[in-house]
Chain A
């Protein structure tokens, strides 16, 4: 492989007639410019022109996109929303932890105003959620669990044991047999390991 060329934001890479712009680039006055600092990558996609993109490292970093299913861990709860750290996008682990927010009205699809966050999530739970918005500069990713397959997957009880789901809104501790409220995800049978 030929050594990769480095570029900085604002550097003119080539004209639109030679390549199609990919990620990390933008079009201006008929030329393609880089918007990130990194390595220039040219790929032949099978269309007429190759795709030119700028990547930070040699592997492409997967960023959570709108509509992606992410796995996250709840860090704190509030009567109005829950704050989470996004750990996996799909099945790829992320190198950095991105922050996300699940608002109270995005927890369920039905009866949105009757949701109580402390009965849906608790700090330490692992939750499957979907990204609905990337947010502004300061705010985090906005996530939702308003589907049957989204919600709490792994949770620990007050006694410290991993709880077993018994319905879409309750989980039970195998040691103390105490029931706790969570918004439980309905995992497809083929993903459950025996």
Chain B
């Protein structure tokens, strides 16, 4: 039980580079009491026959009971199925909108993929609008497809948004931290002043607060909290909260 997990355990929390190999020499099959272990390789790890190779540089993370993955930082987004992203509508051609999601190709969004949309009742989407949607098809061989509707047919928060506010780009690692269930950054930010926030997994964040100045303050705080430890961040937020009162 311990051979495979032990190989990984000593490297949890360490920085690994692409090309690092975990090879397991299983003991000779003399005794039949070997339990088969199952390990789930997450993003950044790939199995190659009898060994596991690292594909991306980053920190090895572990989640009970048997999931391992590499936590890597990158700014370039690669569309993946099921992820919710913020896109900008670039063209309207026939029944389909072309949406820029920051990937290598523009995604297509059908006009029927909105809540309550029928052939007669077209959604009110113009070029330049912001849309929040999910990918239904996203692989390296075809252009990705977005929908603003979930499997039951309800919008569930997706669709066109953002009459005002500011859209800016951050790294994918920060986006994952913001979207974590108990995100400390969000909790600390809430204490300063109220604002609206939409986070897309393609690294795009949209913010709107009561005044333009507050919007810009929130934008700057989010951009700088990428490279700060939590303590530095909390002192900075406290300073800003006192200064704005």
The interface of chain A, by Cβ under 8 A from chain B, is 76-79, 116-118, 122-123, 159, 175-178
* Known A79-B142, A159-B46, A175-B47; further 14 A-B contacts with Cβ < 8 A: A76-B141, A77-B142, A78-B142, A79-B137, A116-B137, A117-B142, A118-B137, A118-B141, A118-B142, A122-B141, A159-B48, A175-B49, A176-B46, A176-B47
Chain A residue contacts of B145, Cβ below 8 A: 79
Q: Do B141 and A175 have beta carbons less than 8 Å apart?
A: no
CA distance A175 to B49 in the complex (A): 5
Chain B residue nearest to A124 (CB atoms) is B141
Chain A residue contacts of B49, Cβ below 8 A: 175
Interface residues of B in 49-76 (CB under 8 A from A): 49
List of 3 A-B pairs having minimum Cβ-Cβ separation, nearest first: A176-B47, A123-B141, A118-B142
Task: State the main secondary structure of chain A at its contact with B.
Answer: loop
Asked whether B230 is an interface residue with its Cβ less than 8 Å from the other chain, the reply is: no
Interface residues of B in 116-149 (CB under 8 A from A): 137, 139, 141-142, 145
Chain A residue contacts of B139, Cβ below 8 A: 118
Chain B residue nearest to A123 (CB atoms) is B141
Among B47, B137, B141, B142, the residue within 8 A (CB) of A177 is: B47
Q: Do A77 and B46 have beta carbons less than 8 Å apart?
A: no
CA distance A175 to B139 in the complex (A): 21
Chain A residue nearest to B49 (CB atoms) is A175
CA distance A122 to B141 in the complex (A): 7
B57 to chain A, nearest CB (A): 19
B245 to chain A, nearest CB (A): 54
B66 to chain A, nearest CB (A): 16
A30 to chain B, nearest CB (A): 53
CA distance A146 to B142 in the complex (A): 22
Most interface-central of B46, B137, B142, B145 (chain A CB within 10 A): B142
CA distance A159 to B49 in the complex (A): 11
CA distance A178 to B137 in the complex (A): 19
Chain B residue contacts of A123, Cβ below 8 A: 141
A180 to chain B, nearest CB (A): 10
A185 to chain B, nearest CB (A): 20
Among A79, A116, A176, the residue within 8 A (CB) of B48 is: A176
CA distance A118 to B138 in the complex (A): 10
Chain A residue contacts of B142, Cβ below 8 A: 77-79, 117-118
CA distance A177 to B40 in the complex (A): 12
CA distance A123 to B140 in the complex (A): 10
Chain B residue nearest to A116 (CB atoms) is B137
B144 to chain A, nearest CB (A): 11
CA distance A79 to B47 in the complex (A): 30
CA distance A116 to B145 in the complex (A): 13
CA distance A175 to B47 in the complex (A): 7
A173 to chain B, nearest CB (A): 10
Interface residues of B in 11-48 (CB under 8 A from A): 46-48
Most interface-central of B48, B137, B141, B145 (chain A CB within 10 A): B141
Chain A residue nearest to B145 (CB atoms) is A79
A75 to chain B, nearest CB (A): 11
A107 to chain B, nearest CB (A): 15
Chain B residue nearest to A178 (CB atoms) is B47
B41 to chain A, nearest CB (A): 9
CA distance A123 to B141 in the complex (A): 7
Q: Do B48 and A175 have beta carbons less than 8 Å apart?
A: yes
Chain A residue contacts of B46, Cβ below 8 A: 159, 176
CA distance A117 to B139 in the complex (A): 12
CA distance A175 to B53 in the complex (A): 12
